[in-house]
Structure formats: structure tokens, C-alpha cells
Amino acid sequence: MPFRLNQINFGSLLSYCPRGTSPEIQSAKDLTLALKQDSPIEDPPVLPSEWIARTIEENRSTLPFVSLFQSDTVLVPIPRSSLLGKDYLWVPQRIANALVRRGFGSRAIPCLIRTRAVLKSAYVPASQRPTPTQHYDSIAIQGDLSAPNDIVLVDDIVTRGSTIMGAANRLLDAFPSARISAFAAIRTISSPLSFRQLYSPVFGTINYHEETDESFRSP
């Protein structure tokens, strides 16, 4: 089934590179690992999810993506690749809640769930990563929601944007008139030569190619 939405605006605050050994790359790797576990950083300690929201609040006047967050925006966390289970750590939900507490959006609603697990992109070769269609097919909407006008999908890390593309089109089935965009705390930079620094705010797009069932992020 062709997707109704083939381009999504997104914002991202930080960047990291999974390869390379420079001090800057290692620092970004350390922060990324802490965010995945939402384990405390800095002194005094603060959870990375709270640190992300605080950093956005402190720099809101210069960030290129703050227009994504309007007063009536509903934040929807991206589900993990695995099924909901006991002691489930849902970092995107923590980020969404932290953003709402600081005035970015009206509420956070965890309305997307996995109906079946998919492979985790970070652990498999690019050729085996789930496609946008596979994400779409493995995600469902739960709960009885009033139709939102503006939705921002929230994720911890974005690579090509396949999860975001699949989730956005699933939401669009239920809310066809909603504006849907996305925010990811960190975006992946594949080449060490292209990596500049951890703090690297951007506003860009995620585009879907129906012919190959692939998503591509820019930048």
C-alpha cells in the first residue's frame, strides 16, 4: 500500500558517529550510550532525557527546530523495536514527558505500540534493517484519542528515519488532517570524516522512496 506521507520535517539536537576514535566522537558515543539507558550524567547528576529538554529550553532562541513545538502540539513517543514487557525502559517517552514539562507541547501520549517485534537497526547490517513498511505493519494505535491538529513524533536516535516514516503513516491513518513532524535527540553520522561535534542542532527532512521502500534523512 503506498504511503500517504512521503516527506516529514524533523529536528535533531545532537549528533554522534558509531565509528571513529577521536575524543569528540568518543564523547558523543558516551552521551549516546547514557541516553539509551537514561543513566545520569554530569555533576550534579541529571538524566539525559531531562538534560535534552533543559538544553532545548536554554537555547530555544537559536535552535532551528523549535517551531515544531506549538502550544497545542501532541508529542507521541516512538515505540521500541521490541514488544512492551516488564521493566520496559522507553527513552522516547521519557524525552517526550520532559519536553512537555518544560512547555514544549501540550501533552505526551504513548499511543503507538509494537504488535510484533522487529530487528533493531543498530545491531544488523544495513541490508537487514526494517523498512518503513515493516515498521508501519508492526505498529498499532491504542487508546481513544481526540483528533490532534499537530503531532510531533519523539525518538532518541534517528539514522535514516525508517521508524519515523512508518509510525507517521500509521498515525496519519487515524488522523488524516493532522500535521505530523518528528524530533530525535540524536542523529547518526555514518562517516567519521563528516562528524563535527556532539552539539549540532538541525532542521531537515526524512524522505521516502516507494520504489525501494527506503527512507533517507537530510541532513
pLDDT tens, residue order, the chain (219 aa)? 689 999 999 999 999 999 999 999 999 999 999 999 999 999 999 999 999 999 999 999 999 999 999 999 999 999 998 887 767 899 999 999 999 999 999 999 999 999 999 987 766 677 788 999 999 999 999 986 788 899 999 999 999 999 999 999 999 999 999 999 999 999 999 999 999 999 999 999 999 999 999 999 999
CB neighbour class for 148 (10 Å; exposed up to 12, middle 13-18, buried from 19): buried
Quote the pLDDT of residue 82. 85
Pairing label, strands 112-114, 139-141? antiparallel
Quote the pLDDT of residue 123. 64
What 3-state DSSP class applies to 130? coil
For domain 8-218, the CATH class is alpha beta
Q: How far is CA 145 from CA 105, 108, 109, in A?
A: 16, 12, 9
Quote the pLDDT of residue 151. 97
DSSP secondary structure, 145-172, as one string: ----SEEEEEEEEESS-HHHHHHHHHHH
Q: What does the domain layout of the chain look like in residue ranges?
A: 8-218
Quote the pLDDT of residue 84. 75
CA angle 89, 90, 94 (to 5 degrees): 115
What 3-state DSSP class applies to 132? helix
Quote the pLDDT of residue 122. 67
Quote the pLDDT of residue 184. 98
| Torsional class of 18: left (φ above 0), alpha (ψ -120 to 50), beta (otherwise) | alpha
153 near 181, Cβ under 8 Å? yes
Quote the pLDDT of residue 145. 74
